[in-house]
Amino acid sequence: MAHSYTPGLKVLKNTKILKERRLPLKGSVDTSVGDTVAPGDTIAKTDLPGNVQMVNIANQLNVDASDVETVMIAKEGSKVSKNDLIAQTNGIFGYFKSSVNSPVDGTIESVSNITGQVVIREAPIPVEVDAYIRGVVDEVITEEGVVIKSYGSFVQGIFGIGGESRGEIKMLSENRTSEISVDMIKPEHEGLIIVGGSFISLEAYKKALECKVAGVVVGGFNYYDLEEILGYTLGVAITGSEELITSLIVTEGYGKIQMGQQTFDLLRENSGRLASINGATQIRAGVIRPEIIIPSDASSQKDSDENSKKMSGMTEGSLVRVIRSPNFGKIGSVKELPSELRKMESETMVRVAIIDIDGELIEIPRSNLEVVETD
Amino acid sequence: MKLRSILATDCGSTTTKAILIEFVDGEYRLTFRGEAPTTVEAPFEDVTRGVLNATMEIEELSGRKILDGENIITPQKKDDGVDIYISTSSAGGGLQMMVAGVVKSMTGESAERAALGAGSIVMDVLAANDGRKPHEKITRIRQLRPDMILLSGGIDGGTTKHVVELAEILAAANPQPRLGQNYKLPVIYAGNKKATSDIQKTLGKLTDLDVTENIRPVLEQENLKPSRDKIHDLFMEHVMQQAPGYKKLMSWTDAPIMPTPGAVGALIEMVANKENISVVGVDIGGATTDIFSVFQSQFNRTVSANLGMSYSICNVLAEASLPNVLRWVPFDIDEKELTNRIGNKMIRPTTVPQSLEELVIEQAIAREALRLSFIQHKAFAVNLKGVQKERTISDAFEQSDSGESLVDMMELDLIVGSGGVLSHAPRREQSAKMLIDSFLPEGVTSLAVDSIFMMPQLGVMANIENKKIAEQARVAALEVFEKDCLIRLGTCIAPVGKLNNSEKILNVNLEFKNGDKKNIDIGFGDLIRIKVGYEKVKATLTPGKSVNVGAGFGEQINTDIYGGQVGIIIDGRGRPLQIDQSSSKRIADLKKWSDAVDEYPELGK
């Protein structure tokens, strides 16, 4: 039978982390297998083709498209600067000449004798990719990038905004149920990753932006407040390209929801350490979740290779989290997995699990449960 | 060869669904079905794994041996294996295309129609007159990275300049395909044939260019089939080859793999033509909503790429606005709390509504997703634009223009709904009510839902080209569609007009199969349900003076209608449907209409 449970978000204390760092187009890779890299090191670079400007010479000089080549001063392949003369008519007895100047610096890529258009390509745009995490180059993907290997803690959130960032972890909340308020965020938090409990308000997040905090990790945030930060209503959960100083990672969902115990404890243990975070989220086929990576010290790297064990799905005794109301956010253990379909209050017939939440046995659809993946 | 058994799969982006069709007691019937998660992504990266898992489930349920190790046994040997195996696919995001035409509302639209009809998602329509500067178009092409581009433009023999200009823009952008860095992007040219050599010169080296017949050879005629066929060919040759495991899957199937929506469209078109009726079909998924229609024998399909029930649910909220969603909710709810709940469905797309309140909210959102998708469809399913019409003096007062919508709700005979929220609603009454509220049918319209969304598999079955089995497969597809796929909900009778409250809008006289008769007066604002199974009922409908039920204002009609799992619903709420602005009146009205059809009997208890 098809598995109907949602694979859980990873909360791993000590695991092997492999991170692929790829260029958008082929280019050159500047590191080799075995090199030790720091998060800010450039590992590969390339040039994206420059922007293109199209100039219709035939229209501008009022000549036939088939005659355009005869009026071109700058030929195909030649370099031109902005305002350089690129085409000119003969005029009448050498007078009344019409001309066209280049609108940009670039290279004449093509001249069409069908449409009379000239394509000018601007200079290439250099692109660099950095290592993002501390680690060792494990594999080089020829001309495209590298895979970096590291050991340490790895936590996934459910939703985030803002791209890659890094900073030291600073716990702002004492426990996983308390909120981050405006007055808790101070200028000295600049460049840090601050961790809260159940919630951060829009005002507090704005203060974090103001203080140039590198990242915020928290249990919940209001969906309707996203609009003010993003400038548009978030219709589909595809994020990561927003230009925000402060990346936001939500570990549980929208609303006030206490952070999972394991997540909170693990982040607290890592307080003061350097973390790399990425708010990029894509909830579609090929799902991407926001992440917090905290590489451990070199000395503890040797024996943790086997820690990344495969999850076998939901079984009796599994630790699970409820991911839809009622009981949203609560954690319990699976007591029973009845095979027959059961009728919910909504009259939907579903496969359920019987969960022990604080000593109370509750029937919940298996699709509304998430296995808590820990090591 | 007599077809005895058919195995068909649909590899969706999350689930692979398999059905087994067998020839039993002189007819083709669906006998077993199975499903398993699709395995296109890591760690499996092989679509055939999911196909085998779904097939194994059928084996377990039926006790029939279909697999020999990791192969499907074809043809059937004694009781083992199946005679043919076929499949559709929308895994990995389906087929994503970009289309280009010279004039946006003419060749641009024709190209879009061809691409949508072939089952693709159209990412953008480029046109010479779309208002964007060349460098903006180039940036857009680079960003999108489509699977394929369809370039059209110009009528045969007309000016070539504009279409070549578009080709030059494509060349300057040098687009890269979405999947795989090592092959050239397929481009289909279906424009002015006079420009073919210039197009080849411009794009021949940079892209994998294929030339087919002009999509608009003359202004008055659209020729979509050659382009649609070419899209299917290239989908198989290029796009599918890049997706993990598809080479193997293609070697297993007895007919080319079709994109899922292409197969659904083909089936709906076939049913409409066979019965000579107008049909609207809808498939509401997690990310997108597809609408198919056949009016005046013309087929149209639209995809509302960001209107869906999970991945795109927040976009429904954004496009419809909160008040429009709330107008379908028969209780008061904190608005901020509601937006957080909807947001949580988007980030946990696989969850299901456990409480009745959550179900009502999801079905309210579904109504808006369907309504908005249908608005988009009506705007797209139009007569050809740019065609000159000869007018007579009698047309002088009727300023009908080219580009009129083909969708005529009074003419519509059948609405078929599919997708989780419609097919798996706990009560069929809920499905019927959602279809009525969102599509607002007029006159007499039959309602049905696809039981387990097997239209894709039946669509590909109906389109097998191998002559030895084509006819049998087509018969099998239609038989299974009638008997196992469609669940007949019943008929909706909706008079059009606006009256004062409780004024009589319609008199209905029904004569049932067993001879029983019923005469009912319907007041404006009433909704009535008559329970009757799928049987013929003779109906005489007499509308009020300023009311039309199909034959004109105040004109009576006599017709045969059918009941179904829900029965006959007489919708006297008038068209357009007005929902009261005041919260208390709205809630009272919604409850009255809901109680009339037994939609949420437990609500408020």
Check whether A307 has a pLDDT greater than 60: no
- Domain A319-374 class, CATH top level: mainly beta
ipTM of the complex model: 0.86
Q: What is the pLDDT of residue B147?
A: 87
- In the block, tokens 């077809």 appear at B3
Spacing of C-alpha B190 from chain mean position: 25
**Report field, pTM of the whole predicted structure over 0.95:** no
The topology under which CATH files domain A158-289 is Glucose Oxidase; domain 1 (3.50.30)
Q: What whole-number distance in Å separates Cα of residue B586 and Cα of residue B214?
A: 53
Q: Which of residues 249-288 of B touch A (CB under 8 A)?
A: 287
A325 at B interface, C-beta within 8 A: yes
Check whether A299 has a pLDDT greater than 70: no
Q: Which CATH number among 3.10.20, 1.20.120, 2.40.50, 1.20.1070 corresponds to the domain A52-121?
A: 2.40.50
pLDDT digits (tens, 9 = 90+) for A101-135: 999 999 998 898 888 989 998 998 898 999 999 99
Pick B306's closest partner by Cβ from A51, A236, A283: A236
Q: Which of residues 269-298 of A touch B (CB under 8 A)?
A: 281, 283-286
Q: What is residue B481's three-state secondary structure?
A: helix
> Quick one: what percent of chain B has pLDDT higher than 90?
64
Q: What is the pLDDT of residue A303?
A: 43
Q: What is the pLDDT of residue A95?
A: 82
CATH 3.40.50.2300 in chain B, residue ranges? 94-245
The topology under which CATH files domain B5-91 is Nucleotidyltransferase; domain 5 (3.30.420)
Check whether A4 has a pLDDT greater than 70: no
Average pLDDT for B504-530: 96
Inter-chain contact B346–A283, Cβ cutoff 8 Å?
A: yes
Q: What is the pLDDT of residue B468?
A: 87
Lowest mean pLDDT among A126-140, B133-147, B195-209: B133-147
Average pLDDT for B131-137: 86
Spacing of C-alpha B171 from chain mean position: 34
pLDDT digits (tens, 9 = 90+) for B69-109: 999 999 999 999 999 999 998 876 678 899 999 998 889 99
pLDDT digits (tens, 9 = 90+) for B241-284: 777 888 899 999 999 998 888 899 999 998 899 899 999 999 99
Q: What is the pLDDT of residue B391?
A: 56
SS3 per-residue string spanning B449-464: EECCCCHHHHHHHCCC
- Domain B94-245 class, CATH top level: alpha beta
B411 at A interface, C-beta within 8 A: no
Q: What is residue B435's three-state secondary structure?
A: helix
Q: What whole-number distance in Å separates Cα of residue B8 and Cα of residue B253?
A: 9
**Residue boundaries of the structural domains of chain A:** 52-121, 158-289, 319-374
pLDDT digits (tens, 9 = 90+) for B15-67: 889 999 999 999 999 999 998 888 876 667 788 999 999 999 999 999 999 99
Q: What is the pLDDT of residue B92?
A: 66
Q: What whole-number distance in Å separates Cα of residue B506 and Cα of residue B497?
A: 10
Set of chain B residues whose Cβ sits within 8 Å of the Cβ of A370 = 348
CATH 3.30.420.40 in chain B, residue ranges? 5-91
Q: What whole-number distance in Å separates Cα of residue B367 and Cα of residue B422?
A: 10
Token couple for B24: 């039993």
A253 at B interface, C-beta within 8 A: yes
B334 at A interface, C-beta within 8 A: no
Token couple for A241: 């390209």
Q: Which of residues 46-85 of B touch A (CB under 8 A)?
A: 57
Check whether A190 has a pLDDT greater than 50: yes
pLDDT digits (tens, 9 = 90+) for A228-272: 999 988 888 889 889 999 999 999 999 999 998 889 999 999 999
Give the residue from B123, B9, B135 showing the smallest Cα distance to A109.
Answer: B135
pLDDT digits (tens, 9 = 90+) for B392-447: 555 555 544 556 889 999 999 999 999 889 998 999 999 999 999 999 999 999 99
Q: What is the pLDDT of residue B208?
A: 92
Q: What is the pLDDT of residue A223?
A: 95
Spacing of C-alpha B189 from chain mean position: 27
Pick B92's closest partner by Cβ from A2, A53, A285: A285
Helix (H) or strand (E) holding B364: helix B356-380
pLDDT digits (tens, 9 = 90+) for B470-484: 999 999 999 999 999
B243 at A interface, C-beta within 8 A: no
What's the mean pLDDT when you consider all of chain A?
89
Set of chain A residues whose Cβ sits within 8 Å of the Cβ of B169 = 54
Helix (H) or strand (E) holding B486: strand B486-494
CB B301 within 8 A of CB B265: yes
CB B212 within 8 A of CB B230: yes
Inter-chain contact A54–B359, Cβ cutoff 8 Å?
A: no
Average pLDDT for B118-131: 88
| Reported confidence tier of residue A371, pLDDT bands at 50, 70, 90 | confident
